[in-house]
Every structure is written in C-alpha cells, then in structure tokens.
Amino acid sequence: MYDVTIIGCGVVGASLAYTLSQYDLKVLVLERENDIAMGTTKANSAIVHAGYDPEPGTLIAELNVRGSAMMEDLCRSLDVKYKRIGSFVLAFDEESRRHLDKLYDNGVKNGVPDMRILTGDEARAMDPNLSQEACAALYAPSAAIIDPWGLCIAQAEVAVRNGVTVKLRSQVTGLETRGDGLLLHTTSGDYETRYAVNCAGGWGHEICALTGESEWEAKPSRGEYYLLDKSSGDLVKHVIFQCPTAAGKGVLVAPTVHGNLIVGPSADPAESPYSRETTLAGLDAVAAASRKSVNGIDLRQSIRNFAGVRAITSDPDFIIRPAKACARLLHVAGIKSPGLSAAPAIAEYARDRLADMGVALHKKAEWDGARTQVRFKELSQAEKAELIARNPRYGRVICRCETITEGEIVAAIHSPIPPCSIDGVKRRAGAGMGRCQGGFCGPRVLDILTRELGQSPLDILQDGDGTTLLIGETKGGAKA
C-alpha cells in the first residue's frame, strides 16, 4: 500500500512529488497520458508572475508571491532555465491608469517587492519598443520567465531518483474507501493508498465526481499563442502585459528562456481540456492586442502556433482542501494562472494539509534534491572536446537549429522518466525547438528512439498516444 498517491503529473503534481520525496513515505504518481507535463504545463505563457493581480487575502495571492520567491533557488538547484526580467502592465487611458493603482495596492498587500508606477516615457526608456500610446506602466521587477515543462520534468525526475514511483497511461477511473485507505481503479490496474491527492488539472472535476459529489463546475478556457523565431527574441526586454480583465491577464508579449518571443494568449471557452485547436479568430485577436502593446512585432516570424487550456473553475480561488465526501482525498484543483508561479508553494501548502489529515512526515536521513543537465552548446570548447572524448555521441549534432547532440538525446531517452515520443525528447533535450520545428531532426530523433528503445519505427509517436508517424512499409522495404 502506498502512503500518498498523486493523481496527475503536471507541474503541480510534480512539485508535490518532489516535496514529498524528502520524507519517509511510499509515494505513487498516476498520470493519464504517456508522459508527464502533457496538459496546461505543456502550453502556457512560461511566466513567473510577481503577484500583484490576485485579490489580497486569497490563497492565490499568498501562494503566488511565496512561489515566485522560491522559484529562482529551486531552478538553480534543478538546473532549469529561469531568468528574472521583470514585467510591465501598460495603461493606455485614464481608466486603465487608475487600475494600475489598484494593482499596485494589491501588490503591496500581497507582499510583492519593489514595484513602481512609471510614466509611459519612463517605461519606454527601459523598453524602447513599447507603444507610444502607453501613458503609464506598473513595473514589477520580481517577475520572471521560465521553462515550465523543464521544471515539471526536473522535479519528477528527482522525485523518482528519491524513491517515488510514476505510472504513466494510468487514468483514474474509480475510487473506493477501503478501511484505512483508498482503492484507486486505473487503466493500468488497481492501487491501494492511504491518501490521494487530486492534481488532475483540467480533469480535476472528474476525480472529484468519483467521490459522489461535485464540488465545483469546470470552466476550461483555451488560450492561443504565437511563438516567434529567435530573430525576434530581443524585441522586448521585459514581460509586457495590458491591464487584466475578467477573462484573465490578457495578451502578453515576452522573451522566452530559449531566446524566442511569445505572444498571447487569447481567452475563449473550451469544451474540454483537449480543446487545444488554434483558430483564425483567436490568433487574429492575439495579433491585434499585441500590436497595441509593442511596436514592430513581425508575426511573419512565427515558427509555431499552439493553444493551451486553463483549468478554470466556478471557484475564484485555488481549491486546496479535503474532499467533502472522501476524508482521505485532498483536492488541489482549479490551479489556473498563476499556478506555475505558485507551484512550489502549492506543494508545501498541500504537504501541510496532508499532515493535518494524518500523514506522518518524517524527513529522510539522506535526500538529494539537485539535478544537472548537459547542454552541449553552452559548454566551452575545452569542455566540449573532453565530453566528446568520453562519449563520441556528443560530437554528432542532430538538431541543427538548437545544436542538440546525439549524446543529449540518448541521455534524455534513458532519464528516470523515459520519453516514448519525439516531442518527449524535445521537452527534455530541446531537439525540435528551433526554427524548423523538427523538420530536419525529427526523423533522426525517431531513428534514435527506435534504436534506444528497441521498438519498431512504426510504434514511435510524435507526442500523445495515437500520433504515430509511420503506418507501414512499402514493397521495397522503405517506411511509409
């Protein structure tokens, strides 16, 4: 029997697994997809928000600011890309200028450090491509950019290395109370656990419904994005927002930690967490809004459009509490923006709620919470030569756009949570992240996966289950 079972392995589930791996507990993570970081964690703005937007006194406000403060040290320990660059919220008229005062007051009450309200000219002096129409801006230097799936994968890998078990393709389909624990029915079998945590993101309401009581209404929202080539990556130096509305924080323009420019998202009701299609109307709305904030955005430099679905619910706050109809189930649900920013603090808060529910927390005598990753292109010439001498695979570049080597890809394939797809390799090693989006390296990554996993190339996936690229062989023996 497991002590704690975490349902879902996005960034929140992985953060909790990482946190609980520090204790003498038998921990299981159940993930419905064929890899971790496959939901909202895979498709979002990649921003660590400062914390001025949430209403003071809410759990969102408390955990946003605390999580933001924790993030830099955590990413340094895990060797995850993170850069504190600060953010601007722009005002374009007197009404939105007054809203900046409200955001500033929120931030002060929430404990956001070092904020300032600037004139438009002061903001443009710091970021020259801001719109001339912006009359004022709220500056929050503690905002940052991050690799969201990198954070999720790193924490989950460290958790596994410290004894946590991760089961993929394990959708929870039933939940029963059995004596002093729970029996979880899944698509990979049944699991006994003393306590369970609902970190299922967009599917959190379905886990709640398995208790026999629906405690909130799911209101998923789809956000569409442009990702621009690195030639546009230095257009702005900060994260650029407009004043938020009831639909969310609005369209942002920001550099990414990989050197690109991200523009988005829209905000439209979604039918389900799988409603990740992009639309002409949504992308047009993103384009128009972004040009209001920043001069010179060239959307012809887009290398990818994508959409993510936010796990919004009828409850305006984060939902972190025991289930009403199941005393051994802890809900960690409704984790909408700023869920990524708050994730490490959410994990600690959930840990404490588990202790309140009866989980005994005894620190392990030995625990290693650090992780390092080889990034060949960032090494010195001497370091590259030494690495190639030890392992010649690091001397073969597979992804030309990002200079990702065969050695890095093989290391990713044999990591603690091995990928089964080309995009799984991309999330771990970066192959396919560049201008051609895998057009050159994709077939080569497929060949390496085939070799390293001992599988037929017909079974290698692009990403989720059902995304096979090859369907058979031609008469001459070539794959088709």
* Token pair belonging to 46: 């990649």
Question: Helices then strands (H, E): number in the chain?
Answer: 12, 22
Only one residue has tokens 């887009």, namely: 302
Dihedrals phi, psi of 310, to nearest 5 degrees: -85, 140
Enclosing H/E stretch for 82: strand 82-84
For tokens 């005062």, name the residue: 101
- Residue 273's φ and ψ, nearest 5 degrees, are -65, -15
Question: Strand ranges (DSSP E) for 199-312?
Answer: 221-228, 239-242, 252-255, 261-264, 268-269, 302-310
φ/ψ region of 214 (left if φ > 0, alpha if ψ in -120 to 50, else beta) reads beta
Q: For the chain, how long is the longest CA-to-CA vector? A: 71
Active-site choice (49, 99, 205, 258): 49
Tokens 């799984």 found at: 424
Distances (CA, A) of 373 to 37, 88, 425: 18, 32, 14
Q: What is the Cα–Cα distance from 124 to 131, expressed in whole angstroms? A: 8
Cα 419 to Cα 137: distance, rounded to the nearest angstrom: 43
The answer to whether 258 is a known catalytic residue is no
Distance (Å, rounded) from C-alpha 244 to C-alpha 459? 45
Per the document, the length of the chain is: 480
Give catalytic residues, as residue numbers. Answer: 49
